[in-house]
Each structure stands twice: as structure tokens, then as C-alpha cells.
Structure 1
Amino acid sequence: MPETSTSLTRRLRGRTAGLFAAGTVLALAAPVMATPAHAAPDPVSVLKYTAKERKAALAYWTPARIKAVGKSVDLGPTGPKAKPYRGTPLKTVGRLFFVNANGADTWCSATAVKSANKSAVMTAAHCVRRGSSPYNTNTDMVFVPGYHKGKQPHGTFAVRAAATPRTWQNDSVNDIAALTVDLDKKSRELTDVVGSQDIAFNRPVGGPVTALGYPATNPQRGEELLLCSGTAKKEHGTQVIPCSLSGGASGGPWLAGLNTTTGKGTLISVNSALDTLPPTKMYGEILGTTAKKVYDRAQRA
């Protein structure tokens, strides 16, 4: 979604300005190389993390640090449209921890999806890098599926690559990202451990949707998976549902046909932006051709 003057106020982030915890280092992406005149620009931008960086990320996110980041911000009371998820535990949905471009510890939400490499995770582009700013990227990124009140029942997966639309990097358009994660400590692929959600592209907007995430509202403060349910409608070139999820729920899935007994649904978008604070609406991108290219890059990495 274009970063217009109105959408700036809706942009959903793991943190809001002025609420960052003490930071570490400012992250810079590698310089963008010039594209030969005869070649079309690559529509997908990919950040890669070295083996050394991934090992450091796993060491960085200790249980104590995770606990501290949740306590470091309070976005106010959880709104009336956000409810605790009470079905079969969703092993596929979890918290995505990272150090943002300001050097602050923070988090988003993310989801394991079906993929050729069994290692793809969907989230929002603004959970990977700042829009319209090629050099402001996030570091020390790890995915904790099934996170619940300090427990990490399925382990922690370091992110080795993060794909976003080039349009997000340059113009804050298309707030969708696909991550590729490492094997776990037992050399298992992500979806062999937690399963996966189906994912759909070019799906008509409409029908009932469940949006999920780990917002920084109280009393949960990112420790518990919350949800909103509603009928998706088109608005401002995106899709929207009534919702009170707030910062920290960014990147969490929109699941169509969610069966709370099996924990299965189809991912049709991710939490992207809010109408206001406190929120009454959640916006998500319509997953089209660009989103499919981002996903394909991650599932083949």
C-alpha cells in the first residue's frame, strides 16, 4: 500500500516511535548494484544473513531478552475486537524477534506456510526493512513458532534470507515478506516440525477471515496469541476487517477457513496497517503477482 499521508498513520509496526528499547547497532543493507540497461529490474529484494550472523542471532535472543522486550512497551488495553485464541495450539504461528534499523529489540508475528523447501515463513515487509529506505534493514532475526507465555515448544529458527518486493524497498508499496529459515538444532526443516498453512494468491476479496498475532497491548504484552474475526472487504486498494490487534501483531496471518480443531486454514494476507490508535480496523495486502514472486523466492532459497 502506498505510504501516503493517511497510510503513514495506519502503518502497523512491532513498536511505535518513542517506545523502542535500548538498541544495539544500526543495520545497513549492502549497496544496491546498478542494473544493466538491457535487464529488467528484479521485482524482489532479498536480504541474506551469514552463518555467523545467524548463530549470533540465536545466541542473542535468550529467554531473558525475550521477556524483557515484552515488558519494555505497553500499547494500552487490548481492544474489544481482539480475543485470545482458544483452539488447538497453532504451531505454525509464532513471534518473529529482531533488532530493527534503530538498533532496538522488537518483534512481529509470522506464519509457516507450505513450500518447496519446507522452510518458508510469511510476514509483513515492514518487519524486515523500513519502507522507502533501502539501507534501513533489520538484523538478528529469529522465528519462534507456537510461542506462548515464555514457552518455545518447537524451538527457535534463525532467518537466513528475507524477500520483500522491490516496490516496498523503494516506495513502501506491497507490505508482504517471505522468510527462509534454517534447520533447527536437530537438523529438521521447519514444516516437518510444526506443519504448515496453505497459502493462496489472486484470491477474490471477501468471506470470513481470522487475523492472528502477538500485539503489545495489555495484559498480554506479546505473550499470548490473539485473534480478530470478520468479513474481508476492499478498501484503499487493500483488504480490511474489523480488528483491535495492535503493534506486535504485524505480519501475523489472515487465515480463511480456519478450523480451530485442526489448526488449519489458508493464508490470504498478513497484518499490515491500522486505521488509528487504538485501532478499529486491520488492513492487509491483496496477495497478487508480486506477492507470489516474493514467496517463490523464499521457497526456493
Structure 2
Amino acid sequence: MPETSTSLIRRLRGRAMGLAVAGTILALAAPLPATAMAPKAPAAADPVSVLSYTAKERKAALAYWTPARIKAVGKSVDLGPTGPKTKPYRGATLKTVGRLFFVNANGDDTWCTATAVKSTNKSAVMTAAHCVRRGSSPYNTNMDMVFVPGYHKGKMPYGAFAVRSAVTPRTWENDSVNDMSALVVDADKKGRKLTDVVGSQAIAFNRTVGGTISALGYPATRPQLGEELLRCVGTAKKEHGAQFIPCDMTGGASGGPWFANFNTTTGKGTLVSVNSTMDSFTPTKMYGEILGATAKKVYDRAQRA
């Protein structure tokens, strides 16, 4: 889900429009005459897009997101009362889930939700692609990205981690398809890698849709206004090439994890998707991508960076 309800509806309408044309088959090019030499096929495009931030930009991002600025951005967006399907998370402290702060392509301060996952480099974070860059618009990217795991009511018990690179599917950059992203974050100020500090969540690809899912996020709804981690629980079902659960979390929860087999006593589960969009006509469905081969390539590129 995007940062505001207006952009949320626009994105969902974009998704619906995309579904309407998804089955359209493009006209095939006329074949060459048998006597003509066929041109050499172009090299396959890299299915993964990587947005990198310089050391100077990362240092500036950490300096930019002061406690005062974080407090201010939470007060700047009010998306109405928290819905009845969304409840405050009550369970073991989730060190792995936090707020992802950034300046969007319009120059506005805002946030999403993200999750530290198991990775070779101990530095990978999962979120939504629209939390990184605008879909179908390669040059509209977000800046000053900082992940704050375990955020709660102004407290940042594990510090802040600057985003070094953001990996998205090329299909998102060009066609607004596959709304998921894997981030790579710097070590903290003490030189410690992210998952050495907060632990990590398992992640699964090519999983059959179904079962009980816990979706979490920091939506900009009252009375929490992004200050507390909220949760929806429901059975995942497949629809329109994606999956959904009953949920009414709104903007700010974008990129938050979908956990299967989630245990509130241990705070552990398996990440199987992230919050992407809501049904704008009956805003009680939360959609998430089905993490398949493309998502696995995105994750692998990040975990090996």
C-alpha cells in the first residue's frame, strides 16, 4: 500500500486496469521471407533492476531522519480511523519488522513497512517495490531511505540502517508488475550487520496460496498514526494472479510482511508476501504478490550484494 489513501486508490485502479489488458495478445511481427537472414536475437534483458545510493547519500539519509522529523511525518498524514479488521499487534517483540522512512519522488517525507529476512550477507530487507520507486516510471525513485527495525512510539531500540541498494523486478520499473523489493542495508554505527542485531525471518518462494496469514504494518490511521505495529489475520486466497486476505490496513503499511505459520510467542514466521494494494471499491481486501521465480531473483541479487 502506498503512503496516502489517494495514491493507494490510484495504484489499485492501475492494478485493475492492468488486469483488464493482461490477457491481450500483441500482434506478431510478420515473418521474414525464407531467403532473408534473420537478425541476431537481442540479449535477454536483466529481469532485476538495482537502485544504488552512494556513501555520501547514505550518510545524509541518516542525518536527515532525526527523531523530530520522524515524529513530524507521523503527524502529517491522517487516513482516518483504524479499521475493525486491523488490531494492535500483541505478542513477542518483533525486532525484525520496522518502519522504512524515505523522501518520495514528489519530495515528500513518508514511510512504508519492511522486514529483515535471512540472507547470505545478513543485510537483506523485504518491502514493496512501490516503496522504492514509482511503477512504470524508471526515473521516479525514492531517496534518503532508512530502515528502523522494532520502531514503537518514537523509540528506535536497534538504531537506524541506511539503505545501500534497492532491488526491484524490471517488470515493476517498466510495467508496474510484481510489487515487491529487496533492500540491502549498511551496518549500524557500531559496525554490526542488521540480522546480527535484530535476527531474521525465514522467506519462502513458490508457495501454494492458502493457510492463515498474519499481515503487519504501520498504517497512518488513528489513533496510532504510524507509531505502532498493527496486524490483520486471515486466510489467503488467490485472485487476479495475486493473493489476498481480509484486511483494512491502509497507507504506511505498504511493504509490511505476510507471515505464514506465525507464532506470537516467538515472533517467528515465514514471509510469503508483502502488503501491496487494497481493493478500492470494498476496502477490506489486502493484496500481496505471489512470490515466484522473479521475486527469488530479486531476493538473491540482494542477499549476495
Q: Calculate the TM-score normalised by the size of structure 1.
A: 0.89
Residues 143-162 of structure 1 aligned to structure 2 (within 5 Å): 143-162=147-166
Quote how far apart the aligned CAs of 1:38 are: 4.0
Kept in 2, the 8 Å contact 1:79–1:278? The answer is no
Q: 1:121 aligns with which of 118, 122, 125?
A: 125
CA contact (8 A) 2:129 2:181 kept: yes
The one of 175, 180, 185 aligned to 1:176: 180
Q: CA deviation at 1:14?
A: 1.6
Match 1:140 to one of 140, 144, 152: 144
1:15 correspondence with 2:1: no
The DSSP-based 3-state class of the residue aligned with 1:211 is: strand
- Given the alignment, which residue of 258, 264, 280 partners 1:260? 264
Letter in structure 2 aligned against 1:193: V
Q: What's the C-alpha RMSD, in Å, of the aligned pairs?
A: 1.4
Shift in CA distance, 58/300, structure 1 to aligned 2, threshold 3 Å:
same
**1:270 pairs with 265, 271, 274, which one?**
274
Gap runs ≥5 in structure 2: 9-39
Q: CA contact under 8 A between 1:246 and 1:278: conserved in structure 2?
A: no
After superposition, residues 54-133 of structure 1 pair within 5 angstroms as 54-133=58-137
SS at match of 1:116: coil
Distance 1:287 1:38 in 2: 28
Distance in 2, matches of 1:113 and 1:151, equals 22
- Which amino acid in structure 1 is aligned with residue 77 of structure 2? V
1:48-69, CA deviations, whole angstroms, 9 ceiling, x for partnerless residues? 0000000000000000000000
The amino acid of 2:3's aligned partner reads G
Q: Provide the residue aligned with 2:229 in structure 1.
A: 225
Partner SS, residue 215 of structure 2: strand
The alpha-carbon distance between structure 1 residues 51 and 257, as it changes in their structure 2 partners (threshold 3 A), is: same
Partner in structure 1 of residue 213 of structure 2: 209
Q: Which SS does the other structure have where 2:297 is aligned?
A: helix
**Distance in 2 of aligned mates of 1:280 and 1:208:** 16
Deviation at 1:18, TM superposition (A): 8.4
Alignment partner of 1:148: what SS? coil
Could you tell me how far 1:17 is from its partner in structure 2? 4.3
- 1:126-156 Cα deviation digits (max 9, x unpaired): 0000000000000000000000000000000
Q: 1:58 is paired with a residue of what secondary structure?
A: helix
Asked if structure 2 preserves the Cα contact closer than 8 Å seen for 1:244 and 1:278, the reply is no
1:236 aligned residue: 240
Q: Is this contact kept in 1: 2:219–2:251, CA < 8 A?
A: yes
Cα distance per residue 1:194-250 (max 9 Å; x no partner): 000000000000000000000000000000000000000001110000001100000
- Aligned residues with identical type, % of pairs: 80
Whole-Å Cα distance in 2 between the matches of residues 72 and 277 of structure 1?
25
Q: Would the alpha carbon gap of residues 129 and 243 (structure 1) be closer, same or farther in structure 2, given more than 3 Å must change?
A: same
* Residue identity in the other structure for 1:212: L
Aligned letter for 1:223?
E
Partner SS for 1:212? strand
For normalisation by structure 2, the TM-score amounts to 0.88
For residues 298 and 123 of structure 2, the distance between their equivalents in structure 1, rounded to whole angstroms, comes to 14
Contact 1:83 1:227 in 2 (8 A): yes
Q: Secondary structure at the match of 2:72?
A: helix
Deviation (angstroms), 1:15: 2.3
Find the residue that maps to 1:47 and give its secondary structure.
strand
May I ask how many residue pairs the two structures share in their alignment?
A: 274
